[in-house]
Amino acid sequence: MAAGEKLIAENRQARHNYEILDRFEAGLALLGSEVKSLRAGHAQLKDSYGLIRDGEAFLLNCHISRYENAGYDAPDPDRTRKLLLHRAEIARLEGKTRERGLTLIPLRLYFKNGRVKCELGLAKGKQLYDKRETERRRQAEREARAALKSRSR
């Protein structure tokens, strides 16, 4: 993570369920009470995904809890939020998601210079055998590192 960034929430399950091909940084159109809730760290990206519709990008199923001091007109925690991307980025993402069957997955939410940013991953879903293969590879690397470490002592 770069200097000046503060992590709010991370979608750790995304790296397990998807193969991340490309990454994008997008802003989020939020209300004031949502930003205050994010500053307290109340966000969840578990089942959320991005969608391109009518030349605009949206973040769906991202849960941002209600801010306790928001009052009576607090927004719905699971509402659809607009992603702020350049027009060329949206066109590129729309082409890739439509053409190759890729998905937009939010990888993490963070503050960058006081603004809320969402790191989106252009992802391809993994099959069960791909997940097992990744786990086997990680386990082998872990064992090799442990053997080298014990040998050097």
**What percentage of residues in the chain have a pLDDT greater than 90?**
54
* β-strand partners of 26: 118
Length of the chain: 153
pLDDT of residue 1: 67
How many CB atoms sit inside 10 A of residue 112's CB?
Answer: 15
* β-strand partners of 105: 121
Mean pLDDT of 104-124: 93
| Residue 10 pLDDT level (bands cut at 50, 70, 90) | very high
The residue whose two tokens read 């997008």 is: 26
Half-sphere exposure of 74 (CA within 13 A, CB side): 17
**What percentage of residues in the chain have a pLDDT greater than 70?**
99
Q: What is the mean pLDDT of the chain?
A: 89
Helix (H) or strand (E) holding 62: none
pTM of the model: 0.80
Diameter of the chain by CA atoms? 63
Structural domain boundaries of the chain?
5-126
Nearest-angstrom CA–CA distance, 13 and 112: 23
At the topology level of CATH, where does 5-126 sit? Small Protein B; Chain: A; (2.40.280)
Nearest-angstrom CA–CA distance, 62 and 48: 5
